[in-house]
Structure 1
Amino acid sequence: MKNIAIFASGEGTNAERIVRYFLENSTIRVAIIITNKPNAGVIKRAESLGIHALFLTKEELQGERIMEVLKEHDIDFIVLAGYLAKISDEILHIFPNHIINIHPSLLPKYGGKGMYGLKVHQAVLDAKDKESGITIHYINSEYDKGEVIVQEKCEVLDSDTAESLAERVHKLEYKYFPETIEKLLS
């Protein structure tokens, strides 16, 4: 059995899709969801799905506590799903090429610290790009600079707003993120 820890900071729609995708899988499971926000919506989503959710402070996420949690849950793989904090160098060292992230643009465009959510989609529109999409990538010590695993694209329409583009990008995330995790762990 491969055990996944999902790190999320927000509502947790991607985390929920990943959990649901693996509910009937006999070799891969989401063992825990970890958040850095005490009131994150992902906590309620996790609880409704029977998945343990744990809030950790910034200090706990950078210290021994996070290492204890990952060991306690026998974690093999870490998935960042809307996680808006930097992963410690210690975790990067212990989980090389076993931590992935999803970004709502075609990296290297519109990545880096502070580029998330509607900010990314507005940047795509401001640049008048004709396509956008998602990038699933390994993480390293720099924001959105890890090796790309897969990119999936969608058209940017002249009538798009940041919200309408976000909606199409979310559909790509929901489809391809769980599938990519499964391929990597199989």
Structure 2
Amino acid sequence: MLKLGVLVSGGGTNLQAIMDAIDAGVITNAEVGLVISNNKGAYALKRAENKGIPARCISPKDYADRKEFHKALLAELQENQVDLVVLAGFLVAVPSMIVEAYPNRIINIHPSLIPSFCGTGYYGLHVHEGVLSRGVRVTGATVHFVDTGTDTGPIILQKAVEVHQGDTPEVLQRRVMEEAEWKILPAAIDLIANGKVSVQDGKVIINN
């Protein structure tokens, strides 16, 4: 059984999608063992508590410096024997010390088709604002492994979503979540939990 540690900053809609997928049998051989947020007020923590899942707030504000915060975050993951770290709307950069402790065992969901609209500054609504300002017709979401760069790790799954005329960033954000994020994040976790994903030469191989 793969033990997931889900890191979140806000409402936790992707966390909910993961929990629902486990309940529905869409994700097999995995369980959410820990939820961590950097934000004390994150509704995601309440979602976890409602399901009886250990929920922790580890905030940079509570530590003398970033290094101490990073150490506390890593210690919590290791003490809970987390197998796979899932970044589900976690708005804090994951440091190299955690990436190196979990090689190809940290995944992230990004609300665009990488390598478009990704990297430094592209998070949350900024991604969808960028899509609309450029006038692209198709956007989507990407699940990828996390390396020491920003949105540069090996791509696991992607799903395209149409951009509609008259979309606002908020409307587009919702469509990308519903049509892509909430589908491919659980699908990627299920593949990993069942030993179907490997990384070769910096690329993901999926063995069905």
Task: Determine the structure 1 residue equivalent to 2:48.
Answer: 46
| TM-score (norm. length: structure 1) | 0.93
Matched, 1:135 2:137: no
Tell me what 1:68 maps to: 75
Q: Show CA shifts across 1:125-177 (max 9, x none).
A: 11000100001111111111111111100111122221221121011111221
Displacement of 1:26: 6.4
Residue 15 of structure 1 is matched in structure 2 by: 15
| Partner deviation per Cα, 1:29-66 (whole Å, 9 max, x = no partner) | 00000111111111111111211110112245411x22
Contact 2:28 / 2:190 at 8 angstroms: preserved in 1? no
Report the AA paired with residue 45 of structure 1. Answer: R
| Structure 1 moving runs of 4+ over 6 Å | none
> Which residue number in structure 2 is paired with residue 183 of structure 1?
191
CA contact (8 A) 2:29 2:190 kept: no
Identity of aligned residues (%): 36
Question: Aligned-residue CA RMSD in angstroms?
Answer: 1.5
Count, aligned residues: 185
Q: Structure 1: how far apart are the matches of 2:128 and 2:56? A: 30
Structure 2: segments with no counterpart, 5+ residues: 195-208
Which of the residues 105, 111, 114 maps onto 1:104? 111
**Correspondence for 2:127:** 120
Specify the code of the residue in structure 2 equivalent to 1:16.
Answer: Q
Q: CA deviation at 1:109?
A: 1.2
2:2 pairs with 1:2: yes
SS in 1 for 2:120: coil
Equivalent position amino acid for 1:53 in 2 = A
**Residues in 2 aligned to 1:27 and 1:160: alpha-carbon distance in whole angstroms:** 38
- Mark the runs of 5 or more structure 1 residues left unpaired by the alignment: none
Distance 2:20 2:69 in 1: 26
Q: Which amino acid aligns with 1:32?
A: L
Question: Contact 1:22/1:28 (CA < 8 Å) preserved in 2?
Answer: yes
TM-score by length of 2: 0.84
**Cα separation, 2, equivalents of 1:20 and 1:89:** 31
CA distance in 2, matches of 1:120, 1:67: 28
